Structure 1
Amino acid sequence: MRTVIISGGSSGIGWATAERFASGGDQVFNLDVRAPTEPSNPAVSWIENDVADWSAVRAAVTRVAETTGTVDVVIANAGISIRHGVLELTEADVRRVVDVNLLGVLGLWQAAADVMVRQRAGVLLATASVNGARGYPLYADYNATKAGIVALCRTFALELSPWIRVACVSPGAVLTPMQLAEYTPAMLDEVNARIPAGRHASPEEIAGAFHYLASAEASFLTGQELVIDGAETAGATTAVFGTGERIIGTERR
């Protein structure tokens, strides 16, 4: 039985990932500011935690390590997004997105790496996004944080090999509560039309990728980004909002 820590495990990809590991016999600790929104496996323990607070994150990781004796897999999944154009960005909003999405990964990984280096074993994973490798309107700050996660993945892998493996998953469109909160049914249909697979991924499909990356089968995989997007970014595609449209703030022309 492995000890697994997941941030942002109370809903969406995080919740599905916590359930996937717990169903396989692992002991899972969910670091999230909110309690799970759905019934959870008894093997998943919720620790109220804001990943933007590094001291609280380190305390949580230390607590888990002292309780279980080991920290085997850490998945930095907590993330937020705010739909706004570059001219409508506010400093407060941007700082919160960066604090959670990027610095939250760095702080959690660093705290976990301190334990894993002493163990001479461990796996660090994170949720990035295909938006980190392309322009995507109305999510400038979010996109930048996801690009940063990929850079962190490569750097941590170089510094911590051979004992610690590091990888990130970059999903395309996933049908999560966050996606449903920001997109109308018509907008979801528009996104599906751009995906060769013709649909959004389910959170469970992304959870399966994390489970693989943490497994012995992926023992030689480190410093890599695993893209799961239904071929959305596989080739040249039309602009996000269709050919010939221009975006100014949130207005489409």
Structure 2
Amino acid sequence: MRVVLISGASSGIGAATATRFAEAGDRVYNLDVRPPAAAAPGVTWLATDVANWAAVEEAVAGVHREHGRLDVVIANAGISIRHHVLETTWAEARQVVDVNLLGVFALWQASARRMVAQGGGVLLATASVNGHRGFPHYADYNATKAGIAALCRTFALELSPVVRVACVSPGAVLTPMQLAEYSPEMLAAVNERIPAGRHARPAEIAAAFFYLASAEAAFLTGQELVIDGGEIAGSTTSDFGAAVPQGSLVS
């Protein structure tokens, strides 16, 4: 049984990932500001704001005290606020950066200190194909996802060979965040731009995290695994979008 921490596991990719690890017999903790919509066997919710570094340290320390170790930590929590670059406020941009990028740093740092002391562990995170190309109305979000990939490489270099580090960059995934921001017509338009012809299922991203945390991936570190159905293989872009109200916050 491994001890697994996952931030933002109350819905979407995080919830699917928590379920995947719990079904394998791992002891899973969900660090999220919101409770899960439904209780998942083997998953414990810890009310935690990843933008609050002291709160992250407290949550990580508590789990470590209880079990004496941390095996896998996945920084998944993220938000997006759709807005034009000229209309983005400091408060909105700061919120996105604090959760999406600095929240990863906080969780990885607190966990890595204990992993180094115990002699091993795996740090993972959810990045995005948005970090690979421009995507209108998501400038701050895009920048944070590119930043996660940079954090991944740097943490890997500084913590190897004791701690492995990797991130997953999904393309379009049918999550509550996606459903909140896109109309059925917009979802269909996205599907037309993806060579695979559809959105990914959260469980497919969860399977990637499960692999990266496994012994089979023991020689993999400092890498970004893109799972996008071929979306960026031909430099496709998503330039539709006026239908979604700007300033809507989802997580």
TM bucket (normalised to shorter chain) is over 0.9
Q: Is 1:165 matched with 2:161?
A: no
Alignment check: 8 A CA contact 1:2 1:27 kept:
yes
- State the one-letter code of the partner of 1:197: A
| Separation of aligned partners in 2, 1:3 and 1:225 | 23
Q: Is 1:10 matched with 2:10?
A: yes
Secondary structure in 2 matching 1:193: helix
| Separation of aligned partners in 1, 2:235 and 2:113 | 42
| Separation of aligned partners in 1, 2:82 and 2:239 | 15
| Separation of aligned partners in 1, 2:214 and 2:96 | 30
| Separation of aligned partners in 2, 1:87 and 1:24 | 47
Normalising by structure 1, what TM-score?
Answer: 0.94
| Separation of aligned partners in 2, 1:20 and 1:236 | 31
- Residues 32-43 of structure 1: pairs in structure 2 closer than 5 A: 32-41=32-41, 43=42
- State the one-letter code of the partner of 1:240: S
Residues 146-191 of structure 1, C-alpha deviation per residue, up to 9 Å, x if partnerless? 0000000000000000010000000000000011001000010111
Normalising by structure 2, what TM-score?
Answer: 0.95
Alignment check: 8 A CA contact 2:22 2:28 kept:
yes
- Residues 13-92 of structure 1: pairs in structure 2 closer than 5 A: 13-41=13-41, 43-92=42-91
Secondary structure in 1 matching 2:6: strand
> Among 226, 238, 241, which residue is 2:239 paired with?
241
| Separation of aligned partners in 1, 2:125 and 2:86 | 29
- Identity of counterpart residues, as a percentage? 70
Alignment check: 8 A CA contact 2:31 2:48 kept:
yes
Secondary structure in 2 matching 1:208: helix
Unpaired runs of 5+ residues, structure 2, are 247-251
Number of the residue aligned with 1:205: 204
Alignment check: 8 A CA contact 1:127 1:168 kept:
yes
- State the one-letter code of the partner of 2:200: A
Alignment check: 8 A CA contact 1:11 1:38 kept:
no
Alignment check: 8 A CA contact 2:79 2:96 kept:
yes
Q: Is 1:108 matched with 2:123?
A: no
Alignment check: 8 A CA contact 2:135 2:239 kept:
no
Unpaired runs of 5+ residues, structure 1, are none
Structure 1 residue 235: deviation in Å? 1.9
Residues 102-147 of structure 1, C-alpha deviation per residue, up to 9 Å, x if partnerless? 0000000000001000011000000000000100001000000000
| Separation of aligned partners in 2, 1:53 and 1:109 | 13
Structure 1 residue 241: deviation in Å? 2.4
- State the one-letter code of the partner of 2:151: L
Residues 31-83 of structure 1, C-alpha deviation per residue, up to 9 Å, x if partnerless? 00010012312x10000000000011001100000001110000000000011
- State the one-letter code of the partner of 2:110: A
| Separation of aligned partners in 2, 1:241 and 1:71 | 42
- State the one-letter code of the partner of 1:25: G
Number of the residue aligned with 1:124: 123
| Separation of aligned partners in 2, 1:27 and 1:232 | 34
Aligned length: 244
